[in-house]
């Protein structure tokens, strides 16, 4: 007889907001359904690109193999929220709360805005931009990275009798924050180092290929030539 208790519980992807000073989680957002697909893009920060040469051409030839810093990595995926899939959970507001939590990732709070307005009225010359909590995106234990939300597009597709949304799909875009984006010693920078170290460990576990598989010999690529 099948014992359903032995079936491992699936891991959910999600977003964690943490205090950058203390490192304590402030809020954990668990995605109701794991996205079916992920679109990832990595743009290398090449030192020898044409943008660094000050004009046309292909840039400084001495810099062709050099990198200025870590690649700029972006993620895009579609998340689904559906109140009808959770009949046992009371939802008097539909999925308004879940949507609001995600929208607040790109909005300062009303208290922060009021404080900035108060400072401007008292003649404060320079008002610092409002700092948001450090945001982490998690996709299992091997992908935990500091991010900034760059895109949030919401398509609400069903409503209850009070016009509360009960089903929606969200297009979410994220930019991975690297040591080029964060100050030295920042908790987010240390988390990026951990994210990069994880990539290095996984790359080291990949099986190495051989020249023979490619139909090449060491002499074909200049090895062993005097």
pLDDT attached to residue 1? 47
pTM: 0.82
pLDDT at 54: 47
- Could you tell me which of 34, 116, 117 has the C-alpha nearest to residue 77? 34
Rounded to a whole number of angstroms, the CA Rg of the chain reads: 24
- What is the per-residue pLDDT for 47? 84
> What are the residue ranges in the chain where pLDDT is below 50?
1, 51-55
pLDDT given for residue 53 in this prediction: 44
CA dist., res. 112 & res. 115, Å (int):
5
Helix, strand, or coil (residue 190)? helix
Contact in structure between 146 and 192 (CB atoms under 8 Å): yes
């Amino acid at each position: 007889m099948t014992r359903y208790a032995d079936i491992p519980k699936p891991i959910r992807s999600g977003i964690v907001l943490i205090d950058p000073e203390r490192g304590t989680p402030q809020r954990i957002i668990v995605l109701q359904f794991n996205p079916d697909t992920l679109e990832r893009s990595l743009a290398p920060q090449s030192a020898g690109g044409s943008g660094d040469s000050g004009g046309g051409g292909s840039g400084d030839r001495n810099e062709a193999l050099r990198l200025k810093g870590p690649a700029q990595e972006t993620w895009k995926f579609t998340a689904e929220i559906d109140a009808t899939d959770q009949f046992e959970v009371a939802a008097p507001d539909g999925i308004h709360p879940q949507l609001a939590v995600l929208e607040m990732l790109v909005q300062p709070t009303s208290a922060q805005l009021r404080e900035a307005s108060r400072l401007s009225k008292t003649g404060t010359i320079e008002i610092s931009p409002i700092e948001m909590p450090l945001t982490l995106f998690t996709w299992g234990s091997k992908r935990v990275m500091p991010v900034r939300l760059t895109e949030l597009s919401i398509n609400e597709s069903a409503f209850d009798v009070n016009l509360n949304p009960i089903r929606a799909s969200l297009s979410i875009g994220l930019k991975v924050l690297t040591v080029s984006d964060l100050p030295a010693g920042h908790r987010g920078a240390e988390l990026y180092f951990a994210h990069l170290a994880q990539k290095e460990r996984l790359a080291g576990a990949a099986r190495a290929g051989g020249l023979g598989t490619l139909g090449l010999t060491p002499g074909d690529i200049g090895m062993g030539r005097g």
